[in-house]
Amino acid sequence: MMILRLPDPGGPPAGRQNLLVLACLILCAFCMTGCRAPASIRNASTFTPSAMTPGESLAASIRNAYRVDVPETRLAAVLQATGEFLRDDYISAISDQEASSFYTDTAFSSGSLVLPQPALIQRNAGAAVVALPDGLGLYLYDLSIPAQPVELTRWTVGLDTVEVVWSGNGVGVGLRTQGNDGISRAHFVFARQALTGWQVSWQSDEQPDWWFNAYNATLDIEEDLSAVRVTGRAYATTQIIYELSVTDLREFTVTWQRQGDSYVLSPPVAAYPSWRDWLYAVSVPSPLAATIEFIERLQDEDTAGASRLVVSPDVLDSAVSYGLHLPGRRYQVVSQGDGQITIRELEGIYVLSMISPVNPGDPWKILAISLVGTTGPDS
């Protein structure tokens, strides 16, 4: 506050009264001038930051949320800021890809992220699936109400692929995470919109059978979410071949069929005489798969089953002459490709020549078996 001090002029009361009147006039003029600021200043006072740069206030909120030090407090702040971000008119008007890039750039500009994981946003009919940077999880937002999001999964460290399929009142999310061991793992989550809001109905990570072939696997999700097919390699499925590398593993395709709000393995193992028979049914046709099944059936004395994997009976005779039918013998894969697979064990090195199937789903068949070398201390 400015205080205007007038000097005491002395003299008669009439002159003093005139001075007082003059002082009042000066004071009024000063107040009127101060109260009416120049037009340029008046306009600046009403020019808000959000009007200056669309989304700037949202960006500041996201940056501040990621800068919180306490993990649980940080997550709560990020979820709150993300919800405000998604419901903003400016963000609603841009594409999912633009929104994802905007969010990613903003989060990384906080200088607080440890993991180099971008954000992913996919929206549909008032809902949004969001993969948060820094491995903070995968969430489902209902954008029609200011509610907290539904956690689809917290385990997203190493996330490198997300596929979102919307169908009716449900959403299926397939994702793949990369571990420190270099092995990727496939996951699937199904959520349904009920009267009380969105809720997670099924998670693959809670199903022990899911992990049979979920390593380095791909997912094929039906558009109506009626089924999810998982194609991947599986460990410890045979005693015939030494599993020394991933190329020594057979590939399998299994189907998870939707029943109500959950998914079940189809066909189940119980539908076959044995687990081994189920493996034959779900294995992806390949020279390796044919080799394993052929030798296993020979060692089980299942000549009829082995016969279905050869072009002629002469191949069976060759296999028996080389001792491939003897129980307990195990083999190492030396090489495979170009319709051939080479295996070795203590007695020799064998090349199995194959012909590819005519119809999809049919097995490869063995055209010939040749002994190309012997093994031993000097070989």
Task: For residue range 290-315, list pLDDT tens digits in order.
Answer: 999 999 999 999 999 999 999 999 99
Question: Residue 352's CB: how many other CB atoms inside 10 A?
Answer: 27
Task: Specify if 112 maps to a domain.
Answer: no
Task: Quote the pLDDT of residue 333.
Answer: 97
Confidence of residue 57 (pLDDT cuts 50, 70, 90): confident
Q: Residue 343: how many CA atoms within 13 Å on its side-chain side?
A: 26
Q: Please determine, for residue 210, whether its predicted confidence score (pLDDT) is greater than 80.
A: yes
Task: Quote the pLDDT of residue 56.
Answer: 83
Task: Specify if 141 maps to a domain.
Answer: no
| CA dist list (Å): 112 to 66, 69, 208 | 6, 9, 36
| Mean pLDDT score of the chain | 87
> Looking at the whole model, is its pTM more than 0.85?
no
Distance CA 89, CA 109 (A): 22
Task: Specify if 183 maps to a domain.
Answer: no
What average pLDDT does this structure show over 48-53?
41
Q: In percent, how much of the chain has pLDDT > 70? A: 84
Per-residue pLDDT tens for 66-115?
999 999 999 999 999 999 999 999 999 999 999 999 999 999 999 999 99
Distance CA 130, CA 151 (A): 10
Beta bridge mates, 343: 333, 350
Q: Please determine, for residue 142, whether its predicted confidence score (pLDDT) is greater than 90.
A: yes
Tokens (6 digits) for 44: 């600046």
Task: Quote the pLDDT of residue 263.
Answer: 98
Task: Specify if 311 maps to a domain.
Answer: yes
- Residue 364: helix, strand or coil by DSSP? coil
Task: Specify if 297 maps to a domain.
Answer: yes
- Residue 93: helix, strand or coil by DSSP? coil
Task: Quote the pLDDT of residue 368.
Answer: 98
Query: Phi/psi at 258 (nearest 5 deg)?
Result: -75, 130
Say which residues have a Cβ less than 8 Å from residue 251's Cβ, sequence separation at least 6.
Answer: 213, 231, 232, 233, 283, 284, 286, 289
Task: Quote the pLDDT of residue 376.
Answer: 57
Burial 22-55 (b: 16+ CB within 10 A, else e): eeeeeeeeeeeeeeeeeeeeeeeeeeeeeeeeeb
Task: Quote the pLDDT of residue 159.
Answer: 95
Per-residue pLDDT tens for 256-279?
999 999 999 999 999 999 999 999
Question: In angstroms, how far is CA 218 from the centroid of its own chain?
Answer: 11
Task: Quote the pLDDT of residue 48.
Answer: 36
Distance CA 287, CA 309 (A): 10
Task: Quote the pLDDT of residue 162.
Answer: 95
Say which residues have a Cβ less than 8 Å from residue 140's Cβ, sequence separation at least 6.
Answer: 127, 128, 129, 130, 149, 150, 152, 171, 191, 198
Q: Please determine, for residue 378, whether its predicted confidence score (pLDDT) is greater than 70.
A: no
Question: In angstroms, how far is CA 377 from the centroid of its own chain?
Answer: 49
Confidence of residue 24 (pLDDT cuts 50, 70, 90): very low
Distance CA 54, CA 377 (A): 75
> H helices of the chain, where?
13-35, 39-45, 49-52, 56-66, 71-87, 89-92, 96-108, 275-282, 287-299, 303-307, 313-321
Confidence of residue 10 (pLDDT cuts 50, 70, 90): very low
Confidence of residue 47 (pLDDT cuts 50, 70, 90): very low
Question: Residue 61's CB: how many other CB atoms inside 10 A?
Answer: 18
Higher pLDDT, 256 or 246: 256
Higher pLDDT, 185 or 42: 185
Task: Specify if 342 maps to a domain.
Answer: yes
Query: Phi/psi at 57 (nearest 5 deg)?
Result: -65, -35
Distance CA 120, CA 218 (A): 19
Q: Which domain holds residue 363?
A: 287-373
Task: Quote the pLDDT of residue 221.
Answer: 98
Q: Please determine, for residue 45, whether its predicted confidence score (pLDDT) is greater than 90.
A: no
Say which residues have a Cβ less than 8 Å from residue 117's Cβ, sequence separation at least 6.
Answer: 131, 133, 134, 135, 156, 157, 158, 159
Per-residue pLDDT tens for 335-356?
999 899 999 998 899 999 999 9
Task: Quote the pLDDT of residue 373.
Answer: 86
- Which residue do the tokens 């044919």 mark? 290
- Which residue do the tokens 């009147």 mark? 21
What average pLDDT does this structure show over 139-160?
94
Task: Specify if 84 maps to a domain.
Answer: no
Q: Which long-range contacts (CB under 8 A, 24 or more apart) does 60-63 make?
A: 61/85, 62/103, 62/106, 62/107, 62/110, 63/106, 63/107, 63/109, 63/110
Tell me the helices (H) and strands (E) count for the chain, helix number first: 11, 16
What average pLDDT does this structure show over 154-164?
94
Q: Domain count of the chain?
A: 1
Task: Specify if 88 maps to a domain.
Answer: no
Q: Please determine, for residue 1, whether its predicted confidence score (pLDDT) is greater than 70.
A: no
Q: Please determine, for residue 331, whether its predicted confidence score (pLDDT) is greater than 90.
A: yes
Question: Residue 312's CB: how many other CB atoms inside 10 A?
Answer: 13
